[in-house]
Structure 1
Amino acid sequence: MSDSLLAEEAAEKIRTVSRTAIGDSLRSVTYFTRDDYDQLYLRNDLEQDADLTSFIGHEWYGFKTAQAAYEGTELGAYKYTIRAFDNGYLVRVTDEREGVFVTTDGLTMQDFENVATSIKEVLREQQ
């Protein structure tokens, strides 16, 4: 894991928009590229030593697969992914260069849309 993938100002913006959109249901925030990641936030009551390396590879590959599979369909352009698990949800916002996944407790669809839109805006500002 690198300490300098993302400028601190951008990292703080991503933490802030995630916390604002999700509130106390926010579990974690992880910024990633194809090869590396920075965990930007992890709630205190969660396991602090999880190995995210396999998550990163899967989420990057998953983005590329979803983007290719749905390109040109009547659904429109790919926006973000929501994954449901027994203990929460993962929202992945990715582009060709970088991505963020946020894990949460239960949320509404509007909450998912708010956090995804906010994170995309921050990532666009960095390019």
Structure 2
Amino acid sequence: MDADPDLVGTEFEESLEAACRTAVGDSLRSITYFTPEQFTQVYLRSDLDSDADLAGFVEHETDGFRAKRAYRGSELGDYEFSIRAFENGYLTRVTAGGHGVFVTTDGLTMRRSEEVATALQEVLTEREVASTA
């Protein structure tokens, strides 16, 4: 898993940040965009240290690509997103096609988590459509 600061352009970064800020406001901690092979941290709140093992997080979060296949046909319906709870915050992961995003936040209600996941799904889908056009 390789970090690639040039993986996304400014316009896409701004779209991701705007979607997250609209959904979760100032509780946004970080945004990381990833593919199965590469990742880049799009946003990190200024009061946080940049010393997290981002590659380790991304490696684990790429499981989202397999989750869509693994849960296909489930009685619960299609897999949409994952939420992980930690001592100091939450992580919401969304994947679409061959790319994904995970967002870390301070406090998070289920409604806010659904809002940020829906917004990210839209941004990822728009990028996927634009790249195939």
TM-score, normalising length: structure 1: 0.92
Q: Which residue of 2 aligns with 1:70?
A: 71
Compute the RMSD of aligned alpha carbons: 1.2
- Alpha-carbon distance in structure 1 between the residues aligned to 2:39 and 2:95: 13
Q: Which sits farther off after the overlay, 2-11 or 75-84?
A: 2-11
TM-score normalised according to structure 2 size: 0.89
Match of residue 88 from structure 1: 89
Q: 1:26-51 CA distances to partner (integer Å, 9 max, x unpaired)?
A: 11000011111111111112112222
C-alpha displacement of 1:69: 3.1
The aligned residue for residue 60 of structure 2 is: 58
Counterpart of 2:31 (choices 29, 32, 54) is 29
> In the aligned structure 2, how far is the partner of 1:69 from the partner of 1:51?
27
Percent identity for Structure 1 against Structure 2: 53
Counterpart position of 1:41: 43
Unpaired stretches in structure 1, ≥5 consecutive residues: none
Aligned length: 126
Residue from 12, 15, 20 that aligns with 1:13: 15
Matched, 1:97 2:104: no
**Most deviating of 93-102 and 2-11:** 2-11
Tell me the SS of whatever aligns to 1:45. coil
CA distance in 2, matches of 1:2, 1:96: 19
Give the secondary structure class of the aligned counterpart of 2:68: helix
Q: Which runs of 5+ in 2 are unaligned?
A: 129-133
Shift, 1:106, TM fit: 1.0
